[in-house]
Amino acid sequence: MAKILAIDDEPDILSLIERTLQKDSHLVTTALSPDSIEPKTLNHYDLILLDVMMPGTDGFAFCQKVRDSVDCPILFLTAKTMESDVTVGFGLGADDYIKKPFSTGELRARVNAHLRRESREKRHVLHVSGLEFNLAAKEVTVDGQKIPLTKIEYGICEYLAQNHGQVFTKEQIYDAVCGYNAEGDSFTVAVHIKNIRAKFAVYKMAPISTAWGIGYKWD
């Protein structure tokens, strides 16, 4: 099951998309305009379907605005078939096009193909907040430079990054990284996060924020 956002100014198209993708057990959120979307919610989605021709903010403008902060596939829905328009879309960061009118079979196939590819890639590499996590090598890089994290520091970063936006207590973080039976103190998590923040500050980055009285999250 994937979380999919579909944006189109035609209610009938949104209804078709929702009914079709629910057949594959996907959770579909629909919107009639990009202007109704809270930017901070975009990283919760696994794929975005985005109409090009809409009043107000069109698909091209919205894609250009959010592409740097959203790492999921963006697929344009469009009746425009000119090669120049396709070129513009890919230049703005689109991953694919689905031309209207489309069949439900094509929609399901294209969406699921992109989701499968993302799943394969993210087994080894995670891109989030301008960082690249090499999950196999247990390394984090920014602009090709490796950030010198200890094993536990890396574990904390990976755990929070893979669940970005979700708040975890020190105890939850400690158990996830060190194991339920580990001998130690969850309060050391605060010390590790202080060290992590110092290392990221060198690159003018602060991806871990504090939820006062609760714990920490990856923004």
Q: Which pLDDT score, from 0 to 100, does residue 82 have? A: 61
Dist. CA 189–CA 171, nearest whole Å: 8
Dist. CA 160–CA 189, nearest whole Å: 12
Q: Which pLDDT score, from 0 to 100, does residue 34 have? A: 92
Q: Which pLDDT score, from 0 to 100, does residue 182 have? A: 47
Kindly report, residue by residue over 145-180, the tens digit of the pLDDT. Answer: 999 998 889 999 999 998 888 999 999 998 888 765
Q: Which pLDDT score, from 0 to 100, does residue 43 have? A: 79
Q: Which pLDDT score, from 0 to 100, does residue 136 have? A: 78
**Structure tokens, 59:** 């698909």
Whether the model pTM is above 0.75: no
DSSP string, 76-99: EEES---HHHHHHHHHTT--EEEE
Cβ-based burial of 19 (10 A; exposed 0-12, middle 13-18, buried ≥19): exposed
Residue type, 209: S
pLDDT of the chain, 219 residues: tens digit per residue: 899 999 999 999 999 999 999 999 999 999 999 999 888 788 789 999 999 888 888 899 999 888 877 878 899 988 766 666 777 778 888 888 888 889 999 999 989 988 887 766 555 778 888 899 988 788 999 988 999 998 889 999 999 998 888 999 999 998 888 765 544 566 788 889 999 999 999 999 999 999 998 999 998
Kindly report, residue by residue over 92-103, the tens digit of the pLDDT. Answer: 888 888 888 899
Q: Which pLDDT score, from 0 to 100, does residue 180 have? A: 55
Farthest-apart Cα atoms in the chain, separation: 63
